[in-house]
A = this chain, B = another copy of it.
Amino acid sequence: MKKNQQAIGVFDSGLGGLTVLKSLMSNLPQEDLVYFGDTARVPYGTKSRESIIQFSKENVSLLLEHNVKMIVVACNSSSSHALTILRQTFNIPIVGVIEPGVQKALATTKKGIIGVIATPATIGSGAYPRLIAALDKHARVVSQACPLFVPLVEEGWLDKKVTFEVAAEYLKKIKQAKADTLILGCTHYPLLKTVLRKVLGNSVKLVDSAHEVSLVVKTLLEEQGLAASAHRRAKYRFLVSDQPDHFKRQAKRFLDYDIQNVERVAW
């Protein structure tokens, strides 16, 4: 098979990365995609750096067995802890979600005050403030770990009163700091946009990296001569380490699209 006809491999700890996948499907309709959700070990956001690195390496190895031409790390916890090590370990282009989100946030903010919400692992890594400071030393960053957001999304409580109250609690510091831009630093969080807008008001711009990630992937494919020929019908493949049926049911909320087939891989 010609290299440019190979698929792009995408992984996440579970479902959240489907927000990135959806954007890849719409911006790169000719590209085959293989998605892996590590649902046996989800979540990553409450785990240690060491474990996240180990899991991420295993996920890339798994995707390489499926003959992919590029890897998208569609998980903020993995991107913030493991991206550098993955790039050192594997000889394949690897795109993470942190930098595209930061670039968009810096292009969006007017006051230079940026809020970041993410899992404890991502916040603990310091990846967002470090990269923002490197690109704009005047920008101010206010970070907040939101460990209950992923379970709330997984439970499907996207617009319940309780979810609104949890969000109000988590966003206190960011509101007080008068941030005008909020990075959704976890691929689950775009599903909470309605609640986040209610808490913060419409003047705060919500930055979700999914769209930007797909643009970075597009540019990189073109630069490296890896883009698939246009006018072909792309194939999608979904792999998980646990609960394929649950994944299939939940995926619709992320993709607005019914997945036909989800395969469970054995470790």
Chain A interface (Cβ within 8 Å of chain B)?
A: 39-42, 46-48, 50-51, 147-148, 151-152, 154-155, 157, 160-162, 165-166, 169, 241-243, 246
> Cβ of A40: which chain B residues have Cβ within 8 Å of it?
41, 47, 51
A148 to B51 alpha-carbon distance, docked (Å): 24
Top 6 nearest A-B pairs (CB, nearest first) are A151-B151, A48-B243, A51-B242, A162-B165, A40-B51, A48-B242
A152 to B162 alpha-carbon distance, docked (Å): 12
Q: Which of A50, A151, A152, A241 has the most chain B CB atoms inside 10 A of its CB?
A: A151
Contacts A48-B246, A147-B155 known; 12 new A-B pairs at CB < 8 A: A39-B47, A40-B41, A40-B47, A46-B154, A47-B242, A48-B243, A147-B151, A147-B154, A148-B151, A148-B152, A162-B165, A162-B169
> Cβ of A42: which chain B residues have Cβ within 8 Å of it?
46
> Cβ of A152: which chain B residues have Cβ within 8 Å of it?
148
Contact A243 B47 (CB under 8 A): yes
A161 to B169 alpha-carbon distance, docked (Å): 11
A154 to B151 alpha-carbon distance, docked (Å): 12
> Cβ of A46: which chain B residues have Cβ within 8 Å of it?
42, 154
A50 to B46 alpha-carbon distance, docked (Å): 23
> Cβ of A47: which chain B residues have Cβ within 8 Å of it?
39-40, 242-243
A165 contact from B48, B161, B242, Cβ within 8 A: B161
Contact A162 B154 (CB under 8 A): no
A162 to B169 alpha-carbon distance, docked (Å): 10
A40 to B43 alpha-carbon distance, docked (Å): 9
A212 to B162 alpha-carbon distance, docked (Å): 34
